[in-house]
Amino acid sequence: MTKMEPIFFHPVFKERIWGGRKLQGYGYELPEGNVGESWLISAHPHGVSQVNRGVFQGKTLQQLWQEHPGLFGHPPEEKFPLLIKLLDATHDLSVQVHPDDSYANKYEQEAYGKTECWYVVDCEEDAELILGHTAATREELASMIDAGQWTDLLQRIPIQPGDFYLIPSGTVHAICQGTVVLEVQQSSDATYRLYDYDRTDSQGKKRELHLKKGLDVIQVPHIRSTEERKVFAEGENRVETLTENSRFSLHRIQVQGDLAIPPHRTYALGNLLRGSLHLITDGGVYPLKPGDSFLLPHDLGSYRLSGSGELFITEPATPPEGQTRKKAKAAVDLGGTNLRVAAILSDGSIGRMLTSPTFAHLGPDYIIQNMIQLLQSLQSEWDFESIGIASPGPLDARQGVILHPPNLPGWEAIPLKDRLQSILNLPVQLENDANAAALGEALFGAGQGKQSVFYMTVSTGIGGGFVYEGKIIQGAHSCAAEIGNMVIDPHGPEHPLLNRGALEVMASGTALNREIQRELSHLDSTAALFRSAAEGNPSAKRVVDEFLQSLSIGIANIIHVVDPDLLIIGGGVLQSKEWFWEDLLQKVQAYLYPQLRGQVEIKPAALEGNSGLIGAAHLDSQG
């Protein structure tokens, strides 16, 4: 071979009980039957790709791997590590789980376990996926499976085209009907079927289940892994990084015109799903049409893409012996509902986030052990400098002790900082979740460049945080900015813990839901309340007016006491801000000193639900 050029492959089609005929809409001539899978690039013995043109025509991918390692940069692995598929789920797939490398090596004689990802190419309007389970312990999981409590056990999530999900080994999952998915995975066919809806095959037999092995490998509790989708835009062209994990990376490239691509670190795999492109290298011009799957060899160099189309590029991860863990700060968001642990980069972006249910009723020992496992899992990929924790109060931030938060039963004077430091050997800092969110917004969100930033969250409760010159103002007793207990109306509703008529009692999401239940029980959410008020419902309008009145008084009080450059509002209630934001701003101005009107900027939070995580990661900057 005198020049490096793309190497194109035939797909391998698989008939499946759940398949259909939709894949023919992506450039493929399908065989007869219900085709569920097209293995686009594969060296796995259950479906091996063959080169369909050029000097290597007729060779298999595994042969290229063994006989021409220079095409791949002389990799150390004996077997090709990746497998790329396009799936048509005309009916529900079975509920299943995959093993990790160690288990697959020992029990299945597979070279690899199976971590995979899904990009939703297309789906029906009400399509969904099964992703995860609800069990807190392995005993509860086994009991629910034995009792056939699949409806209660399985987590279903709605999807739409363009969604992306990483499915690490050990994750319970299933693609559901009406969905076309591009799947990138490790080169493994090790699948343990847990539940198949009691379906029968063409011979009237139920398909085999693998419950014992499945129970061995299922992750308990369920952990969802996510990362920020990074986008590079150049004119109308977009390169979107969907994932960069320890197994592979996947990039979605949308071309409208001409786009230059720099050399890949090693070889890369391409799949064109839509449109028509030309791939232009120093050695030639190669037309690409829908359905084309190809290898870009190691020494191909830079190239250009010209035309209009949607191309997916997969690259292998660096082999373990060559991997260096990336520098990051660890962050923990300890919530009453969810426990989130993340690797946060120096620019405030999220390298990876792991989320599991908190299961608060199981107490601090269970939650702390789960927290440690999540942090250790991230440490396989990231080199942490420190750990920052955002926690509900009350707490002693200086000593790192959680005192007695109402939504975490059993947490009475828990020395969380000391417990984590003793096991993980990293510096740990603890902070009130509202203060951590304030720091996140001040450093990387809506407050960037401002000297004095006050943050308030309006959600189930109301909290606050004040950041001055990049530092959290904690107060003498770690209670600064506890604005939820600020009295708005001394004759207002009572509360078992807070002052009568406090801001949280008058203007939180809980306060709105209280009024909905009392007067507007036909409404099912605070969003529905705001819509109903905008449509002229007098009862809904009165509730919203009273909410805005109380909230605007609270905001004006904060401004008079602190006089910040900027006041930021975040929290769940802000998801409905389109219905009330301008009205709120006008009401606030009416309560301010004339010289303050229009001087203090008020903005919604920019980091959405991640302010606390990002702020927690940077608690070590507080000195």
Residue 195: partners with Cβ closer than 8 Å, 6 or more residues away: 94, 95, 150, 209
Average pLDDT, the chain: 93
Q: Is the pLDDT of residue 454 over 90?
A: yes
Residue 101: partners with Cβ closer than 8 Å, 6 or more residues away: 112, 113, 169, 186
Three-state SS sequence of 323-337: CCCEEEEEEEEECCC
Q: Is the pLDDT of residue 322 over 70?
A: no
HSE (CB half, 13 Å, CA atoms) of 106? 8
Q: What percent of the chain has pLDDT over 90?
A: 82
How many whole angstroms separate alpha carbon 284 and alpha carbon 280?
6
Q: What is the pLDDT of residue 399?
A: 93
How many whole angstroms separate alpha carbon 242 and alpha carbon 239?
9
Q: Are 169 and 113 in contact (CB under 8 A)?
A: yes
Measured at the CA of 500, the angle between CA 406 and CA 473, to 5 degrees, comes to 60
Cross-strand partners of 464: 456
Three-state SS sequence of 141-184: HHHHHHCCCHHHHEEEEECCCCCEEEECCCCCEEECCCEEEEEE
Q: What is the pLDDT of residue 479?
A: 83
Q: What is the pLDDT of residue 324?
A: 75
Q: What is the pLDDT of residue 421?
A: 95
Tens digits of per-residue pLDDT, 48-90?
999 999 899 999 999 999 999 999 999 999 999 999 999 999 9
Query: Cα–Cα distances in Å, from 257 out to 277, 278, 280?
Result: 9, 10, 13
Q: Are 454 and 466 in contact (CB under 8 A)?
A: yes
Poorest-pLDDT segment among 186-195, 202-211, 297-306: 202-211
Q: Is the pLDDT of residue 1 over 50?
A: no
CA-wise closest residue to 130 among 114, 99, 163, 153: 153
**Is there a cis peptide before residue 221, judged by omega within 30 degrees of 0?**
yes
Other C-beta atoms closer than 10 Å to the C-beta of 237 total 16
How many whole angstroms separate alpha carbon 544 and alpha carbon 507?
9
Both tokens assigned to 31: 């065989």
Q: What is the pLDDT of residue 391?
A: 93
Q: Is the pLDDT of residue 2 over 60?
A: no
CA-wise closest residue to 120 among 91, 95, 156, 89: 89
Other C-beta atoms closer than 10 Å to the C-beta of 48 total 17
Q: Is the pLDDT of residue 572 over 80?
A: yes
Measured at the CA of 160, the angle between CA 157 and CA 164, to 5 degrees, comes to 75
Other C-beta atoms closer than 10 Å to the C-beta of 573 total 24
Q: Are 506 and 488 in contact (CB under 8 A)?
A: yes
Give yes or no: 193 in active site.
yes
Q: What is the pLDDT of residue 600?
A: 94
Q: What is the pLDDT of residue 522?
A: 87
| Amino acid identity, position 612 | G
- pLDDT-based confidence at residue 3 (cuts at 50, 70, 90): low
Q: Is the pLDDT of residue 597 over 60?
A: yes
Of the candidates 16, 193, 224, 352, the residue annotated as catalytic is 193
How many whole angstroms separate alpha carbon 160 and alpha carbon 128?
8
CA-wise closest residue to 84 among 209, 214, 248, 212: 248
How many whole angstroms separate alpha carbon 343 and alpha carbon 600?
34
Q: Is the pLDDT of residue 621 over 90?
A: no
Where b means 16+ CB within 10 Å and e means fewer, 602-622 reads: bbebbbebbbbbbbbbbbebb
Other C-beta atoms closer than 10 Å to the C-beta of 392 total 19
Query: Cα–Cα distances in Å, from 419 out to 332, 344, 404, 574?
Result: 14, 22, 17, 35
Q: Is the pLDDT of residue 325 over 90?
A: no
* The dihedral formed by the CA atoms of 21, 23, 26 and 29, expressed in degrees to the nearest 10: -70
How many whole angstroms separate alpha carbon 573 and alpha carbon 579?
11
**Burial class of 558 by CB neighbour count within 10 A (0 to 12, 13 to 18, 19+):** buried
Q: What percent of the chain has pLDDT over 70?
A: 99
H helical segments located in 487-537: 503-507, 509-519, 526-534
* Phi, psi of 590, deg, nearest 5: -65, -25
Tens digits of per-residue pLDDT, 458-481?
988 899 999 999 999 988 887 889
* C-alpha distance across the termini of the chain, in Å: 60
How many whole angstroms separate alpha carbon 193 and alpha carbon 93?
10
What mean pLDDT comes out for the span 250-278?
Answer: 96
Tens digits of per-residue pLDDT, 533-552?
889 999 989 999 999 999 99
How many whole angstroms separate alpha carbon 255 and alpha carbon 469?
43
HSE (CB half, 13 Å, CA atoms) of 267? 23
Length of the chain in residues, anyone? 623
The 154-158 sheet, strands edge to edge: 154-158, 128-133, 173-175, 95-97, 192-195
How many whole angstroms separate alpha carbon 64 and alpha carbon 178?
36
- pLDDT-based confidence at residue 623 (cuts at 50, 70, 90): low
Q: Is the pLDDT of residue 319 over 70?
A: no
3-state secondary structure of 241: strand
Tens digits of per-residue pLDDT, 227-246?
999 999 988 999 999 999 99
CA-wise closest residue to 406 among 496, 272, 281, 312: 496
What mean pLDDT comes out for the span 571-585?
Answer: 91
Tens digits of per-residue pLDDT, 116-167?
999 999 999 999 999 999 999 999 999 999 999 999 999 999 999 999 999 9
Helices 526-534 and 538-562: crossing angle in degrees, nearest 10, is: 110
Q: What is the pLDDT of residue 394?
A: 87
How many whole angstroms separate alpha carbon 60 and alpha carbon 584?
66
Q: Which residue has the tokens 């870009």?
A: 296
Q: What is the pLDDT of residue 524?
A: 85
Residue 325: partners with Cβ closer than 8 Å, 6 or more residues away: 379, 380, 381, 382, 383
